[in-house]
Amino acid sequence: MKKTLYLPMLLFPLFLGAQQNMNDAQYQAIESKVIAWRHDFHQHPELGNREFKTAEKIAAHLRNLGLEVQTGVAHTGVVGVLKGEQPGKVVALRADIDALPVTERNDLAFRSEVTSEFLGEKVGVMHACGHDTHTAILMGVAELLSQNRDKIKGTVKFIFQPSEEGPPPGEEGGALLMVKEGVLKNPDVDAIFGLHINSQTPVGVLRYKSGGAMAAAQEFTINVKGKQSHGSQPWSGVDPILISAKIIDGLQTIISRETDLTNEAAVITVGKIKSGVRFNIIPEDAEMLGTIRTLDYGMKELINRRMMEMVPAIAKAYGGEATISIKDATDITYNNPALVEQMLPTLQRVAGAENVKNSKAITGAEDFSYFQREVPGFFFFLGGMTPGTAESFPHHTPDFMIDDAGMLLGVKAITELTLDYLTAGN
């Protein structure tokens, strides 16, 4: 269950008008390193649960900084612990480290040429979601904080998480496995911060939302059983393709006619359907795969229940049978309102109040949500688009690109959030 964080109201404006914990010279000195690390990770991406070389580089860096380092967490994750010179609370900082099975298509000097195997196929591998920037940013934060232990009133736990995009079939992984293995324990974490760079938000801008910020993602599988027959004699069989079409249509009525979309957005998408082998044969069965996105726990429960009721009922109405299974992929990315209110002045100080935007929730998903389910967390977006760009390419595409100039603000934001949180908590 999510923990609610209660803080005295007088703490919230504590940092308004305050000076940065680090001076600009310290931040400027780390920027070139962060960019170089990012280029290296981008040029040598690795898929989820296979981030072996990435993990080695991270662990070596943290050891050189004098941190306590644990490797092999959730297969390939790395955790570093930095103890300040003064006692206090424990704050966790998370970066995801995995890449995607996408073939890069641009003219960057550090473009990925890596290929690998995914689901039995040879694929290109690319940091098409910006995890390379997250990793480099957190390495920069670790270096700055390790050089300023006297400013740390408590402990900082650096979590470099593998497989955010989901583990390979048949494997566990990601934030859920890290939590299961106790990454938020020993020392016990009081709060966690994370960011995600965004290719369609201008450099210098931060976006956030209190409460439900990103959707819970679920995967569903529907298997339809019909009766095979000749395509010229449909009356002698039961058509699973027709039944599948009726099911798809019915599922959309759950969203359009049964879900209160004035509360939050919700989505049901069928992304794959497989059936049949020949143009003139009505097949015996069909399989559909899809995703559900919800931003409210009550709506999630309603949609799941109605899907479980509707799918077999529609199939039966047309003479067939159907089963459905639903599996959680991520929870709702829920930004603890009290933590957001406490730390918002820090972001406004770092980026300028006019550059910190309160945004609407999105139906994209993040497994950072599994950390937030255990401890109060704050997850926000960092601008990575060159201002004035005519066209910016979305995440998970071959043309995805990030402006290196956006990363320094990420370093500043996470560093200042960490120190301000630990100062306020003591």
Catalytic residue IDs: 98, 164
SS3 176: helix
Taking CA 362 as the corner, what is the angle to CA 247 and CA 133, rounded to the nearest 5 degrees? 120
d(CA 217, CA 57): 31
Annotate 92-155 with DSSP letters as a single string: EEEEE--BBS----S--TT----EEEETTEEEE-B--SSHHHHHHHHHHHHHHHHTTGGG-EEE
- Name the amino acid, one letter, at 316: K
Determine the Cα–Cα distance for residues 391 and 412; give it in Å rounded to an integer: 27
Evaluate whether 111 touches 104 at the Cβ level (below 8 Å).
Answer: yes
Find out whether the peptide bond into 187 is cis, omega within 30 degrees of 0. Answer: yes
Contact 20, 350 (CB under 8 A): yes
**Token digits for 209?**
């939302």
- Spell out a b/e string for 152-163, using b for 16 or more CB atoms within 10 Å of the CB, else e: bbbbbbbbbbbb
